[in-house]
Amino acid sequence: MTAAAPQVKTIDEFAQQSEEYQTAVRKIVRSHAINELYGAQVFDEPAIALAPTPYAKWLTCRVAMEEYGHHVRFKELGEQIGIPAGDLVPRAGGKRPLSLFDFRLENWPEFCVLKLLGDLAEILQVEDLLHCSFHPLRNLARMTMPEERFHAQFGEDFCIDLCEKPKSRAEVQGAVDRVFPILPAFFGQAGSKNNEIYRRNGIKLRTNEEMRADYIARARVLVEDKLGLRLPPPAQAA
């Protein structure tokens, strides 16, 4: 965060900030609102049917409920800062969700890996917002973080269980091979102008490149050290 970054504590103060600042915050809030809803719809809710036991279904229901709750919170904040309600949900001709959501979920090991590695990527994004200069967004990140950590731990715990048997261990490795290469793109392009604006205004702390490198390092610890599996090369293009 730069020394010149404002500290914006209320919605009223937000309305007094520069157009650049307001636009930057709205982009982030809109992205989170859309992607939280899209993820709940295409991954978390369908995974309830894939879960193999009542216990797994119960925890997956909790994950889905919390992801829908994240959307509701970001949507409420978005409307408070002037984003039309229709721009805060996925819709034809609107903002495209993350490319991750083009992945076609087909089985339980894939969902567990998506939670393990996909929610790790989300944790890194929320980490930067914990220090955001727009305090309502900072507070929302602080509310969201414990649930994101639970979702990633959910993925880790179930992946560990699956890796105890050779057949399901191979299925987890296959899911890692399919899922991981598309995840580094989650952090955006190198040299991003949007990211430069975010950092100049104290909305984010790190560059996309820094976050991507941190993500790959953490993913390697999870996959190789904790699961004893192989982390495939990330896709070259972000």
What pLDDT is recorded for position 97?
65
Q: What is the pLDDT of residue 4?
A: 67
Phi, psi angle pair for 223, to nearest 5°: -75, -45
Domains of the chain in start order, with CATH, are 11-226 (1.20.1260.10)
- CA–CA dist 1, 209 (Å, integer): 17
- Encoding tokens for residue 104? 């076609």
* Element (DSSP H or E) covering residue 24: helix 19-39
Give bridge partners of residue 227 from the DSSP assignment: none
Give, for all 238 residues of the chain, the pLDDT tens digit: 445 688 999 999 999 999 999 999 999 999 999 999 999 999 999 999 999 999 999 999 999 999 999 999 999 999 999 999 999 998 755 666 677 888 999 999 999 999 999 999 999 999 999 999 999 999 999 999 999 999 999 999 999 999 999 999 999 999 999 999 999 988 988 999 999 999 999 999 999 999 999 999 999 999 999 999 999 988 644 3
- Entry pTM: 0.92
Cβ atoms of residues 180 and 232 within 8 Å: yes
Torsion angle of C-alpha atoms 63, 39, 222, 156, degrees rounded to 10: 20
List of residues 6+ apart from 237 with CB closer than 8 A:
185
Tokens 């560990």 found at: 160
Joined together, the tokens standing for residue 150 give: 């639970």
pLDDT of 8: 97
